[in-house]
Structure formats: structure tokens, C-alpha cells
Structure 1
Amino acid sequence: MNNRQKELLRILLLQVEGVLQIKELSEKLDCAEKTVRNDLDKIEEFLLNYDSGSLIRKPGLGISIQIDKGERSKILQSLFSNEPKTNEERLIEIAYQLLTSNKPITLQHLSHQYYVPKATIKKDIETIAKWLGRFDLELVSKQRLGNVVQGTELQKRNALAHLSGIIPFTSSEKNVVLDLFLPYEIMTVKNGLEMMQRKFSIAFGEGALDSLVVHALIMIKRIRQREPIYVQAAEKEQAQERIEFQYATWFFEQLESVFSLAFPEEEKVYFTWHLISSKRMGTERDYTVTNEDEVTSIVDTLVAKISKLTLYQFDADGLLKNGLIFHLHSVINRVKFGFPITNPLLSNIKKMYPYMFNMVILAFEEIKKMYRLEIPEDEVAYIVLHFQASIERMENRKESKVKALIVCHMGIGMSRLLEAKIEQQYKNIEIVACIGKSDISSYLSVHQIDFIISTVPLESEGKENVIISPLFSQEDKKKLSQFVNMIEQKGPKEADYQLFSTFMLEELVCFCVQKDHRYEIVEMLATLLYKKGYVTKEFIHSAVNRERKSSTAIGGGIAIPHGNPQLIHKSAIAIALLKEPLEWENERVSIVFMLAISKEHQIDIRKVIGKIASLSENPLLIEELSRTKDYQTFLQLLEK
């Protein structure tokens, strides 16, 4: 086909609805109507290569092409695009154009630019509008003019820096934002930042350095477009007193000649904020934390609150505290200067560590009131990893040991020998004490153990026990090994079932629930708990607010909403089995467990959430549970 015939095909393919008359087509192509008819014959022949494609000629009405959506887009892109764009690339480029354009952009313009129907562009615009809301930006459609983004310059720059966030599963190996700039621009900025690090003996992490490159490139782009950042006089004075302002000033001096730009003071302040907010390599000793007192106070409060909520001794972990001070310094500055981040691990962290994620969210709700500091969930997820690492350090120190008491009738010497033999042979057993038979009752009244190893028969002491000889023969070793295996396998399973049944009641399980929004489900279950006397009325508002703060979906069709433990009279779990899966932010949920477990049962809530999380890994069971319509069947399935 010649260029005129290709243009005719393009016009017809973009006309998804309705028909075009021969006269109208001849005017668009600036040729005779007879020429159009001849060209249509050529197009009709071309469409024979596509199963769903055909040229429709309606005498007296007009011309159209009938073809499915996929083949329509394929033809448009293959014929007219020098570099065919994927859907993701098109989405990112359109968002970039909207954010950097001073004038409205029409659907027709974008349709012609990317050779796709206006309906496809309209869907792209809807996706972009929703994503822009994360940065408090609004995409406004002006009749006959087009689409334009409304918001502050700071908000637009933040959105530009996070363009990859439009595509949820963008490969981490490719920085889509950098693809929008010229190679020499990227290289110049990278070299300038590397020289700055060497000159001032500072080092930014790889991720932080990539972020600084992106922000610098966006800043250069916006200066060229005469779109300045606004900085208040007081903010400018504070920034100019920082050592990072000297770094920024030197950095821009290196760029001025290359880009033929003069960088205003406001832009230097803006980049200073980014330098302050970026995480550096090394430890907190490598540089001064200006707001150290405030950060330390927040960390102390956070650690104390989560220690109280979870009953873990986080306050004894110095490594945790140091790491949090170092990390929160950057977090607080990002929040202060309005530089939101996106955490690609957010969804996975919420699913892997639902208990700790919810505890950190709850602790920050109280910190928000005390320090007027609101930490977004993307930042919270990274902080969760600090606490989870601390737990793993503590668990590794404990080596998951079971606690055993030795009762020996042969005296202290034989008792200690037996203790040494057992601890040498069994790394998972911790001998807490060696006592005589007469001391058992008094010892157990003040100490917790898992079982008793005895050299003499025992009456019932309320604890499992195994009888071995003081000499600890090969037969005794085999006997003890079998006993320990039985304890480890038996205990948790019984405890898990008893734990669930402790907090679940038939009056708190709702079947075939149908609501339009997740907030309605949360409010319904919280209200049920209130009416049954398990929580205060304020718990309802607390639970809904918690859900607004961050989705409580943990994957696998399950959500675990909850409220402030201080508002609970008596621990309980309310459950909703949904008639149809409901959109729960980025998940689809079928079963909702409303957790109302008080502070006194924090050890239990860890086990409960762990049990629920294990359910989420069994989609067939979730499907079966969600279809149940009576309490006993539901319990039996959970027990199974």
C-alpha cells in the first residue's frame, strides 16, 4: 500500500463506531472520490490477511472496518509506528506528557500519536487519573480543549519521579523514568553526583543515588520549561544553613555550562531537601543527624509501644534502635519535605508479616498524635523489616529451644552430668534447672517449662514427663528423642485449635454477606462486636480509620481488619463470609476476620494471625470456607 492508502486505513481503523462517507474521506485525503473507492479495494484485499477483519460498505450510509480490538491495535502499530510501543510504555509516556505539558492534550491527539483507538486512550487516561490521586493531583478534562493535570509543581515533580508506579509489576531492572531523557543528560548528571561524593567524602546507597539522578533530570526539564518550584523564605534560610546546601551548590556549578542553565536558589534548596532525605551508606556515625533528639525520641517511643503491644523485648535490642534512628532520619525528612516513596515490596511485606505490619501501623497511629508525624504505609513496610529482623535475631538466640526441667534422685553431681549429656546431644532442649522430686510443685508455681525429664516415676504434676535412667543409655536417648518429637508435633496443633475456638462464637459469624465497599464490611463487623458487648462504641470508628490508613488484605482472599486494643472489653473474632469476592484495594477478598483481641492476649494474637496467614496459602480451603452457610461446618473445616 502507498502512503495515501495507509492513511485511509488509519482513518478507518480509528473510527471504532459509526461510518465515514466517501465524500468525507476524499476531503480528509485531499483526493477524488473515485481514488478513495479504488483505495478501498486495496484495503479490502489487505484485510483478507486477518480472520476478524472486513471492510463494510453500506450504500447511502458510508464505510467502516469490522475487526476485533486486538487485531485493530496490531495493524495500527505495525503499519504506522516506527517504534511500536507496548501498552505499558504508552501509558508512561502519556502520563509524562500530561505532567510536563502546559496545554491540555486531547484524546484525538494521543490517538493519532500512538495509532490506537480513542477508546483505548480513554482507558489509559482513567488509569493515569487514578494514579495521579496518590500525589494529590487531579486530571481535569476540559470540553473541546483536552486533559490537563492540576496541582502544585512539587506534586507534579514527585509524580514524575515515580512514573514507574503506574505499572504495578514494572521490572526493577529497568528505570522507565530514565528512558524519557537523553543519554548525555543522564551521564552528565551521574558524573556530577559521583564527583560530588568524592569531593565531600559522602556516599549514597545505589537506590538513593538513582533517585537523585531522576530528581535532578526532572528539575532540569522543568527549569527549561520555566516551571519553578516555590520555596518559602523561612524554608530557604533553614536549607542554606545545612552542609547539604553546599553540596547542591557545587553540584549545580558543574552542570551549568553543560546544560547552559542558571539554577535559581529555590532549585538549590529543593535539591538540598533531596540530599537530606536520601539514605547514605555506612552507619549513623558517618554523619551528623541534625534532628537527632527528635528522631531518638520517636524511635524510643516506637520501640516501647511495639514492645508493649507484642510482648517482645525490642527495647533490649541495641542494633534495632541504631538501625531505626539511621532509617527514620531519612523517613522523617521525606515526609517533612513532601517526597513520598513507593515501596515495591509493600504487598509482599503485608502478606509475609501481617502481624508485625499491623502492630507497627497501630504504634504509628499513637505517634501521629504525639509528634504530629504521619508515616505512609510504604514507609511503614520498610520499618516492619527492622522489627522482623530483630525478632529473627531473638529467635536465633533462643534457637527455638524447648524448656525442660530435670528431676533427679541421685544428687547434684549426677544431675549436672545428666544435664551436660542432654544439652550436648540435643541442641533444641534447654535445661532450666535440676531439682529433687519434693521441689517440683514449688518450682512449677513460679516457672514455665515445656516438660519434665525425670529419673524417678512422678505423680501427675500437670506437665508431660519422660522417665530415663541417670546414666542416659542409648535406649534412653532413643526414648527422649521420640518424646521430644511427640511434644513438638502435638502441642502447637492442639493449641492452634483451642486458640481459635477460644475467640470464635457462632453469634459473631456472618454468612453470605453482600456489601459494596470494604469499609461497610469493617463497620458491620465492628458494630456487631459492639452490640454484643465485646468492644466500646469507639472501636467502630477506630477499625474503619485503621482500614482507611492501610488495606488489611493479606492475600489468598483474606482480610484481617482490627481496631485499637485499648477499646476492647473482651477478646473475640467476628467473621464475614462474603457472597461474592469484594475488591479490597488491590486484592479480592472472600473471608474477613475482624480481630478484637486485647493487649492481655498479644501472644495469642500472634498465633491467631499466623494461623490465618497459613489459611491464605490454601486457596481450595478458602473457597470451601467461603461457601459454607452454617457455623458447625465452618468450624469443622477450620479444624481440618
Structure 2
Amino acid sequence: MSNAGEKAYLNKILKALLDNENIPVSRLADLLGVSVKTARTRVDQVDEWLQQRELGHIEKKPGLGVCLYTTRRTELLAMGYSQSTEITEDMSRNNQMIGMLLKYAMDKPVTLWQLAERLYMSAPTVSVLVKSVEGWFQKYNIKIVTVRGRGIMLQGDEKTYRQAMVNYMVYIMPEITDALFETYAAGVNYARVKSIIVDMENAWRIQFAENSFRTAWIMVCLSIKRASHPLKQDKSETDDSLRDFTEYLFAKSIYDKVKSEFSIQGMDEDTLLLTSMLLSARKIGNDGTENMRTNPSYFNQLLQQFVGEVISTIANVLNDDLSEDKVLYNGLLMHMRSAIFRMKYGEEHPDNISKFVKIEYKQVYLATWSTSSLFESYYGVQITEDEISNIALYIQSALVRKTIPMKALLVSNSGMGPSQLMIDLIKKNIPEIIFVKAISEHDFKPFMCDRYDVVFTNINLKHSHDRMISIGQAPTDKDIFSIREAVTRIRNSKGNMRFRASGICHQLFRAGYMLVHPAVKNKDELLRLMVNQLLESGDVSEDYLKNVMDREKATTTAVGGGVAIPHGNNQAVNESRVVVAVLDKPIGWHEDMVDVVFLLALKMDTDLQKACTQQFYKDFISLTENDEFMKQIRQVKTGLDLYQYFIK
């Protein structure tokens, strides 16, 4: 009985035994906040401790409880609870009262007399304690209210109740968290829930910090225990942005398994609540309440602010301006959702790109290191060398874009004011366009299309050209997005331009997932090598390789032109990724010969995942239908070159 938790039990049990001639074990269980079975075990431990030191012994009296026999009462008083300070004693009493109210006053009223009986205190003392813990409950927007003629009870919503219980168990009573499962989640197979979470950790190749693991474990057990008390979504919190975070995908994988094994329906709101608590992990203080957030928009706004500061910091170090590069901003925004989750919980799996980036882009690499303190202050994580390199590649790509400017022509009859507004919108949202000339329909001549990189018009011209883009009189955000896509398409169609994947697809690629001239003899060897890249990072589960192989047995995934797109069941995918292999010699693929392979691990659970997957296929079609683009891919020398090819 050497650790703090055991000593806390000793003090509580000794105090109860010294203050009472006989005490039922059930009352001790209430006092300790544990089950009767656990209370009996603790009493036996105290009895053994007493006898080893010849301080006395405990006898069990049928129908009465347990009783302490000792001739050294004064010595026990000194050795036990009396050594604690008055403040510690008050805190212990407050914690007992919090636990009692969470157990007995959450769903129905409880009288002060009933609480006094369970705590072995007088009703006036209990009344004082109830007042003293009101502030703790208020942190969770829970009130202690009086129900006339019935006693007191807690008043709040199911979400705040669960947050309070989780943080009480994790942060207030950490030494007896495991024992408290029998108090607040009685009847739930919490050992199996723990196994499910561990299985998901292994599948994702991550490892929670202790408090994060306990938070997830307790939250899921409460979801099962209190399934008859469903969470209700606050109308002010309808933002779906939580679903875009990797924490949501991980929480969903846990709840999907729980729903299957425990035969429970729904749990969408439970998944979102666990997501928000995992996202809050860095911001939670010692008592679990400091800066705790559940509002979905908060996390998205925090990430947007963080990415903006990262870009600004690096740009200032480089003495450059990247503030208008929407491709960079959106690309990093997508990348960080996954990267921060991995830095928090993931095992390190080096991409081995740092040595290349340090040599090729030394200035950008060093400038990116200046953001390390931002990762610590925003999310409490230490950025890795390879992650610095990944961000540096995004920055380098943005710098490259600035060196290839575009000139545009605007054909409009709207007048100078509206035309200037359209010019400003185009230049703000498409940083590659550095010059826009506005002319009227009367002044337009067809040969002008060949003198400009792109031609915008909001009127129906008789002449058509593949560089011409129709826009509205007052372009909306949706129009701007379409314009940006069209501009990208026009850039890619020019003979001196490389293919560039859309910004939303950048998150699919990782430098370590680009395999150039791998030493493989056949299709099966290659597929195992490619899937293993995903497995090592936890982006797919162990079932994924079998899914891929089964699909290959069923039908060919060769799509012509020496290209194949093997893929498995998306249920075995944790995070959407694409692994690319460029072979030095073609290999047999059913009846075809293939030298460029895209292994697709794509999910379609959230709106963001659907948009990303759909855009990938659009880009893939543009890539594979252009012989020049495919020639460029086949000529790359390193995995880093291939990675840059896709994100430039």
C-alpha cells in the first residue's frame, strides 16, 4: 500500500472505522465511490496492513458490517488522516460530495438526509458541502437546484453531465478511476470497451496519452450505460466541420465497433462529443475544465488561425508575401488536420525526405523551423524533422507558383467600376494572375486569345477558345472556385506546364508514399510493398492487403496506357491516401503490362472525403489522358521529385 491511491483508501477506511463502532461494507463502498466488491477488497488490504504492524485487526460481523479492534487508537489517528492539512481534508470532502451528486442526483432528486447517511455526516455539514461544490458544477453549466418536497438534484443537459463525469474520474479522482467504472458505468463490459480502443490504436498505429485514453474509455462506457439518455445537438452548434478532423475519423472507428458489438444504434452525437474532447485534450487543465470546448466552429477557427500564422511566420522569415496564395492556405489546412493528430498520438514513421529538402531547399527548410513554437503553443506537440520538411515542400511550391505568373484579359460591357471589381476578385483569389486587362466587346479581337494566358468574359461572344472562361456579373465564392479550377486546367494544357493536382487532393499524397523504381519482380510483390507503406503509418487496417488482393483476383484494375489503380474496401481505410509507384520496367497485370501504379485508399464517409475523392478522379483523368504528363511522371528520378510533381 505504497502509492498515493492506496494511501487515500487507507485514510478513508481508517477514518470510517475509527469514527464508527460498526459500519456496513455497502456504506464504505459509497464513501469510497467504488463497488461493494472493491470495498471488501480494500478492507482486507487495510486489515492485512494493520496486522503486519501489530496495530489491530478488523472483524466482520454478519448483519452489522465490519468493526475495528485496536489498543493503539491514538497512534492510528496520527498515522492516518490527521497528518493531512485542513485544506486537503476539505478538498477530499468536496470531492466526495461531487461524486455523490453525480451518482445520486443526476437523474432524480436526493435528500440532504440521504446524503448525510451515506457520507456519515450531519445534514447541516452536507448542506455546507453542497454549497461549496456549486462552483465546480457551474464550470460545466450544471446547477444544483432544489425540488420542493423531494430534495436536490443536478440540472443540466446530457452532454454536460457526461463531461463532468469524465473529468471527475480522469482529473479529480485519477488514483481510483478504474474502480469508479463500477459506480458510473455499472453493468457495462468496460474491459471489452478498453480492448476495442486498444485495437483501434493498433490499427491506426497511434498511442494515446494516459488522460486521453481514459477520456475515450470513460466516454464510450457512458455512451453505452446512458444510451437511454441520448445527446441532443445544440441548434447553435450545427457546424459539420468536426467531421473534417482526423480525431472524428478515429472516434467514429471506435463507435462503429462498439455499435456492432453492443447492438446499439445511432451514436452520431456521441462520436462528435468524443471528437471535441480529443481535440480539447491540449487545452484541458488539471481539473479538466480549463478552456474546454465543444463548439464545433471553435476548432476549425483555431486551425484556420494557426495555419494563417504558420504561413505568415515563414513568409516573414523569407521576406516574402504568401498571404494571397489560396492554394497554399487550403493545402496546408487539409494537411494539418491529419498531421496534428499524428503528432499528438502517432508513432513516428520517417518519410526520409528531410535530407533531400535540407539540400535542395535549405533556406525554406530553415525558415519553416521558425514555426516549431507555434505547434507547441497551439497544440502542445513537438514538430518532427520530417513534418518540417513536408511543410517546407508546400511553401516551396507556393514560391514556384509566384515565379510563373499569368496574364489575363477581361471582356465585359459592365463599365469601369464593375469591371475593376471583377479584376480585384480574380487577382485576390488566383494569385498566379498578376495582370488583368479589361476591354469591351467592341474592342475584342479573336487573335487576343493567343496573347493572354486566360480570357474572362461575362457576355456571349461569338468566338470561342479553349482559354476562355465565362463568369457572372458579380462572381460568388462558388464561381471563384470554378474559375480557379478552369485556370488550373488551362495552365496544365499549356505545353510548357506540368500537371498539378487540385489543392484539396494534396492531403492524399505523402513523400514517403512515392516509390520510384522499386525493386520488385511482380504485381503481388509491388502491392505488398505499397500496402505496407500505409500499414506502417496506420492509414489502413490489417485487412486492407487482403481486400486489395481479393479485388485483383476478381478483376483487373489496369485502366490502359500502362496504368493500374488497385484499391481495397474503404471500410479498412483509416485515412484517405494514395500511394504511387513508377517502375523502371513494366510488369504483368492480368493481360496488360503496367509501369505506373496508383494504390487508392479512399474513404467517402464525410462531405470533405467525398469532395476530395471526386476531385482526385477528375485530376486522375486529366493526368492519364495527357501523354505529356505521363511522360513527365515516367521520367522522375526520386520519390521526392514525384511528390513535388503532384503538389506543385
TM-score, scaled to structure 1: 0.32
TM-score, scaled to structure 2: 0.31
| Larger RCO, structures 1/2 (Cα 8 Å, 6+ apart) | 2
